[in-house]
Structures are given as structure tokens and as C-alpha cells.
Structure 1
Amino acid sequence: MRTRVKICCIGSPREAELAISAGADALGLVAAMPSGPGPIADELIADIAAASPPAISTFLLTSETSAASIAAHIDRTRPTTVQIVSHIAAGDAAELARLRPHIRRVQVIHVEGPQALDLVPAYSPFVHAFLLDSGRPGAATPELGGTGRTHDWSISAAFVAASPRPVFLAGGLDAGNVGEAIRRVRPFGVDVCSGVRRNGALDLTALRDFMRAVRAADES
């Protein structure tokens, strides 16, 4: 199976074009966050989402935590997919599925230990996919993504094996380690931000190297 690639922290229409031309399957559009790189205005998220080809998934990364506020954020930005970066209440996950059934819903799981596996049954009935990341939502200033850190891939592999939903892997990936990550975890897709950026901008060489590494892992 071909590993899907999501390029996150897209900051402009030009970066979106570069990611798509390199072979990205999805674009990550980061809204306001308590910390981390790449946030852009909701108006720009809406513009990039509207201009993206139908075959490209556009992920709104939202830090909202209630079903009503997430639904309102979706309405302001019009993505194909919402990526919920906080561990929200299961009741809100269920309510969001009722409020916006036409939007694909991806729940981020921050892998801080084996307890991440307990969240598989909590969210699976209400989401289309999971994304495993290396944030620290309980920190004094919550980290909800874009940390540039890897986490314990053995836990991620166990999560993939346990999940009835597709799983994306994020957290510190780059061209040098994504092949090993794919071989060890076997995710549905991979997600990268800092690993393809240089001096705050999407770097075409790093992006191409990352895509080549993913395809090489798929063929191995």
C-alpha cells in the first residue's frame, strides 16, 4: 500500500503549490495554537483550501475543544478535513460527528506513553482517522504539534495494530528517518512540518528528499 503524505504548516498559496507538485496527498493548514510553528489566519486557510484541487485533502488544524466551536471553525475555513489537535471529550467527538458528518475528522493522539492505546476505543466510533504526534498537551504551555520530536515508535506500531481506523504518523520526521518510521510503524500516512522547512519556509530540496525517502520505503 502506498504511504500517503501530508505536508503540514503550509503558509501560503505558493507553498501549497510546491507541496502538491512534489506529490503531497494532503496539506496541513495550522490555525491559532498555544505554541508551535506555522499558524496562519483563518482567512488564508479558507483561501488555500478553496484553491486546492479536489484530489488534495486540506486539513484544518484546530485547537478548539468543543463540538460547537470546532464546527464553527470548519464553517469559517471550509477544509475537507478537520484535525483536532487536543484530546477532546468523547462526547464532543460524538457531537461533532453529528454536527458535521460530511467533514472528515482526524483525532490527534499525543504519544506520551502506552496509555495512548487506551484512546483507540474512546475515539474510533467518531473519527475517520488518527494522527500520532509528539505533543505535550498537559504542559504549562500546551504543545499540540510541530515539536520536531520523535516519540516511541513501538507504541505507534501497537496503536496502528489496534486501530480500526487509518493512522498517520507525525513527530520529528525527515528524509533521514521517515523510511525507518514507515518500516517500523506501517502507518497509513506520514505527516511532516519542520523536516521539510528551512529558515521558516518550505524547502523544495528537503521536500523532494522526503518524498523520495517515502517512496523508497514503500518499495522496500
Structure 2
Amino acid sequence: MRTRIKVCCIASIEEAQLAIDAGADALGLVGAMPSGPGPIADEAIAEVTAYAPPPIATFLLTSEHTAAAISAHIRRTHPTTVQIVSHIDPAESARLADLEPHVRRVQVIHVEGASALDLMPAYTPYVQAFLLDSGRPAALTPEFGGTGRQHDWTVSAEFVQRSPLPVFLAGGLSAANAADAIRQVRPYGLDLCSGVRTNARLDPIKLADFVRAVRRADEDLASA
């Protein structure tokens, strides 16, 4: 299976094209957040979602907590996919599925320990995929992603094994550890922001190195 690549914190149409040219399957567009890198205005997100050609997926990262607010954010920005970065009430996840049935929904699970596995059943009926990240949603200033930290991949690997849905892996990824991530976790896709940036700008050399590392790891697994 080919590991999908999602490049997050896209800041402009120029960065979007750079990621697409490098081989990205999806673009992450960060809305307003309490912390972390990469947020851009909703108007800028809408420009990129309108620009990105099929089959490139556009992920809106939203920190909204209610179905109504998430739906409004979707309608302002027009992504193909919404990435819900906080552990919202599953009842709101159900309502969102009714409000936005044609937009793919990805629930972020922040892996702070084995308890992350317990969150899977509550969201599975209402989303199309999970994304495992290294945030701290209960921190004094909540962290919903972009930390550059790697979490416990043994928990992530078990999550992937148990999940009936595709699972993306995020948190501290770069060209240096992409192959290990694929080999240990076997995710559907890898998602990263800071690992392909230099001075907060998308770095074409780091991006090319990351894509090359992912494709080489896929080939190694296929031939094993």
C-alpha cells in the first residue's frame, strides 16, 4: 500500500503548488488555534481550497468544538475534508455528520498514553479517518498540533491495528524517521508541518527528502 503524504501548515497558493509538485496527496490548512504554527485567515484557506486540483485533498484544521461552528467554518472555507483537532463531544460529531455529509471528516486523537485507544469507538461511526498527533488538549494553553514532538508509536501501532478506519500519523516526523514510522506503525498516511520547513517556510529540499524517504520505505515493505 502506498503511504499517503499530507503536508500541513500550507500558507499560500505558492506553497500548495510546491507541495503538489513534490508529490503530496493532501494539503493541511490551519484555521485559528490557541497555539502552534501555521494558522492563516479563512479567506486564504478558501483561496487554496479553490486552487487545489483533484485528486488533491484539502484539509481544514478547525479548533471549533460544536457541530454548528465546525459546519460554519467548513462553509466559509470549502475544503474537501475537515480535521477536527480537539476531542469534541461524540454527540457533536454525530450532528456534524448530519450537517456536512459530503465533507470527509477526520478526528484527531492526541496520544498522551494508552487511553487514546479508548476514544476510538466513540468517534468511529461518524468519521472517515483518524489522525494521531502529539498535542495536549488539556494543557493550560491547549496544544492541538504542530508541536514537533513524537509520541509513543507503540500506542499508535496498536491504534492502527484496531481501527476499522484509515489512520494518519503526525507528530515530530521528518525524512530522518519516516521509514521507521511506516515500518513500526503502518499508517495510512503521514502528516507533517515543521519537519519540512526552514524558518517557517516550506523547504523544497526537506520536502523532496521526505517524499523520497516515504516512497523508499513503501518499496522496501512491498519487497519484504
Q: Same fold (TM over 0.5)?
A: yes
**Letter in structure 2 aligned against 1:207:** L
Question: 2:40 is matched with which residue?
Answer: 40
Give the superposition deviation at 1:137. Answer: 0.2
Q: Work out the CA distance in 1 between the residues paired with 2:99 and 2:169.
A: 27
Question: 2:103 is matched with which residue?
Answer: 103
Alignment of 1:73-152 (within 5 A): 73-152=73-152
Partner SS state of residue 5, structure 1: strand
Alignment of 1:175-186 (within 5 A): 175-186=175-186
Q: Work out the CA distance in 2 between the residues paired with 1:30 and 1:74.
A: 12
Q: Work out the CA distance in 2 between the residues paired with 1:90 and 1:58.
A: 23
Q: Work out the CA distance in 1 between the residues paired with 2:83 and 2:16.
A: 18
Question: 1:28 is matched with which residue?
Answer: 28
Partner SS state of residue 68, structure 1: helix
Q: Work out the CA distance in 1 between the residues paired with 2:98 and 2:29.
A: 23
Root-mean-square deviation (CA, aligned residues, Å) is 0.3
Residue segments in structure 2 that go unaligned for 5+ positions in a row: none
Partner SS state of residue 147, structure 2: coil
Matched, 1:56 2:83: no
Give the superposition deviation at 1:54. Answer: 1.4
Output one character per residue of 1:150-172: Cα deviation in whole Å (capped at 9) or x when no partner: 00000000000110000000000
Q: Work out the CA distance in 2 between the residues paired with 1:139 and 1:178.
A: 28
Q: Work out the CA distance in 2 between the residues paired with 1:205 and 1:193.
A: 14
Give the structure-1-normalised TM-score: 1.00
Percentage of identical aligned residues = 70
Question: 2:71 is matched with which residue?
Answer: 71
The size of the alignment, in residue pairs, is 220
Q: Work out the CA distance in 2 between the residues paired with 1:33 and 1:178.
A: 26
Output one character per residue of 1:96-136: Cα deviation in whole Å (capped at 9) or x when no partner: 00000000000000000000000110100000000000000
**Letter in structure 1 aligned against 2:76:** R
Q: Work out the CA distance in 1 between the residues paired with 2:85 and 2:211.
A: 24
Output one character per residue of 1:3-31: Cα deviation in whole Å (capped at 9) or x when no partner: 00000000111000000000000000000
Partner SS state of residue 187, structure 1: coil
Question: 2:16 is matched with which residue?
Answer: 16
Give the structure-2-normalised TM-score: 0.98
Q: Work out the CA distance in 2 between the residues paired with 1:196 and 1:163.
A: 28
Query: Where has structure 1 moved over 4 Å in runs of 4 or more?
Result: none
Residue segments in structure 1 that go unaligned for 5+ positions in a row: none
Matched, 1:153 2:142: no
